[in-house]
Amino acid sequence: MDGRDVLVTEVALRDGSHAIAHSYTVDQVVRVTKAFDEAKVPYIEVSHGDGLGGSSLQYGLSTTNEFDLIEAAVNVCESSKIAVLLLPGIGTVKELKIAANLGAKMARIATHVTEADVSKQHISTAKELGLETVGFLMMSHMAPVEKLVEQARLMESYGADVVYMVDSAGALLPHEVKSRIAALRQSLSIEIGFHAHNNLSLAMANTLIAIEEGATRIDGSVRCLGAGAGNTQTEVLVGVLERLGINSGIDFYKIMDLAEDIVAPILQTPQEITKGSLILGYAGVYSSFLLHANRAAKKWNVDARDILVELGKQRVVGGQEDMIQEIACQIANKKLSVF
């Protein structure tokens, strides 16, 4: 743990990409990364919101090539390490190798909570490339504890150094986080991580419970710059951990300053729990769906909440973004048939 009690990965330059429609510029990434590095943030994740190769019509086109962003971030880091996210089926081993050649030091291989088996090739390749390798089990609220443990063990068997339980929808309640992290800690010999979303205003509470139950890797986003209502707010987390006597190694004043002075101006609107993000957590829907649902609602003249609730009922997961337009169309047609 390098003298730290908890290692934080800052995700604003990846998860936060969803909140600004994947419009990061090289200049923004350089300024933010340099400030993170000066604040001694251990890991900084940089890529398209949906991971390497995510720039597309389905997931959202990036205004700047993500490899340019990754390279720029690597070049200004003195102590921080750059991490990348890869979802098998969106990103490939080819993109992973490019990121490694550019200087990325950590690969986070993300799958749906029941589909860890598709990560074997990518985890193995990341290890061969000398990258610290993380298994990332998304939408963890959609599987019972036993299934979560089974899938985490698969990632461990493939060579993952860490396995994360990911609350992609911000839907988990504190007692659910407690039981899941405890089960993972009892079942794995590697480190456990936790990635929260704040759609039900529970990101901080859930994160602290995860730490209590043995999670040593935690994700945060400064100014809550992430999908939906954002993630556990990094600058607040650092302060809370200090109050608890838990060492993150991050400079509290510097992380506050960069959140206020550098990241806040990038936000197109303040990150808060709006009716849209609240419904994400309530319905258990992937947080990155919010922008897509809002656009579909405008196009079809329907309520985005109705779209998100229906997505939850149909248990739609990341990678099925095309369903958002289809469901919006169905809701619009039902409205017309009433008249």
Pairing of strands 191-195, 162-166: parallel
HSE-CB at 36 with a 13 A cutoff on CA atoms is 31
Residue of 3, 31, 4 whose CA lies nearest to 218:
4
CA–CA gap between residue 278 and residue 230 (Å, rounded): 11
Q: What angle is formed at CA 168 by the lines to CA 164 and CA 170, rounded to 5 degrees?
A: 115
Task: Copy the structure tokens of residue 280.
Answer: 């994400």
18 is catalytic: yes
Place of tokens 């079942």: 187
CA–CA gap between residue 296 and residue 276 (Å, rounded): 13
**Catalytically annotated residue among 18, 48, 112, 122:** 18
CA–CA gap between residue 267 and residue 43 (Å, rounded): 21
Residue of 159, 219, 158, 214 whose CA lies nearest to 187:
214
HSE-CB at 9 with a 13 A cutoff on CA atoms is 29
Sign of CA dihedral 87, 92, 93, 98: negative
Distances (CA, A) of 157 to 90, 118, 186, 189, 251: 23, 13, 16, 11, 35
Q: Which DSSP helix (H) or strand (E) runs through 235?
A: helix 234-244
Which positions are annotated as active-site residues?
Answer: 18
